[in-house]
Amino acid sequence: MQYESLRQTVLDAVFDAVNQGLVHGTSGNVAMRDDDSKVIAITPSGIEYTGMTAGDIALCDFETLEWIDGPYKPSSELPMHSAVMKARPEIRATVHTHSMYATILAMGENPAPLLPITPPHCEFTPVGIVPFALPGSEDAALNIVKTLGSDGLACLIKNHGMMTCGKDMNQAMHATVYVEEMAQTTCIAKMLGTYEPMKEEDIIAMKGFLAANMAV
């Protein structure tokens, strides 16, 4: 099998997302490029994740996005995954989910950016809001790249869900888990009238703490 390790990493990530309730059915997609940026592996389009194997993960040329291997066509949202990786060469992995609380907090006329509630959240903020565009479109890809900027790891997508990225799959999945947790705690706290995100000076201090590889 071509790029077996790369495909297995993508498969393990999507299984992890399914087990944590971050994706359901055939929604969401996970992608990762190889070290030399020759290919990108991505979950296939419209296929149930239950029972999926590493060989089912689609392989595409990183530059042209041509489908080069795998029994099922790649996710239609391949362009937004590859766009993030091309804009940010340090990024190797991307995760897109339709997780509930991230989706809820991206709605409304002027949704507010997501702010950290607990220290681990600080690594993945700020979390901006991306306007809706048709999935798989150039506009969707450009909006996400613009919102992530030069160092963002996550954004919410209006009426769609969230997009995260990382230097490896571990970081991208951590971003996915913590952003959904941040969205959930924010949503519940606002309903209870107890919403109190971390102060800006504490966020800055925590980012420095985390940048020094200090565990939280």
Checking if the pLDDT of 215 tops 70, the result is no
Preceding omega of 131 cis (within 30 degrees of 0) = no
Helix (H, G, I), strand (E, B) or coil at 138: helix
Name which of 88, 169, 162 is nearest 128 in CA terms.
162
Rounded to an integer, what distance in angstroms lies between the CA atom of residue 122 and that of residue 90?
20
Q: Where are the beta strands (DSSP E) in the chain?
A: 29-33, 39-42, 58-61, 67-69, 93-97, 128-130, 154-157, 161-166
Percent of the chain at pLDDT exceeding 70: 99
The residues with which 56 forms a beta bridge, in sequence order, are none
Reported as a single tens digit per residue, the pLDDT across 100-152 is: 999 999 998 888 889 999 999 999 988 999 999 988 889 999 999 999 999 99
Phi, psi angle pair for 97, to nearest 5°: -130, 165
Residue 215 exposure: Cα atoms within 13 Å on the Cβ side: 0
Distance in angstroms (rounded) separating the CA atoms of residues 172 and 13: 9
What is the per-residue pLDDT for 214? 59
Lowest mean pLDDT of 4-18, 125-139, 174-188, name the range.
125-139
Interatomic CA distance for residues 75 and 45, integer angstroms: 4
Report d(CA 50, CA 46) in Å as an integer. 12
Q: Could you tell me the pLDDT band of residue 216, with boundaries at 50, 70 and 90?
A: low
* Helix, strand, coil percentages for the chain (3-state, nearest 5): 40, 20, 40
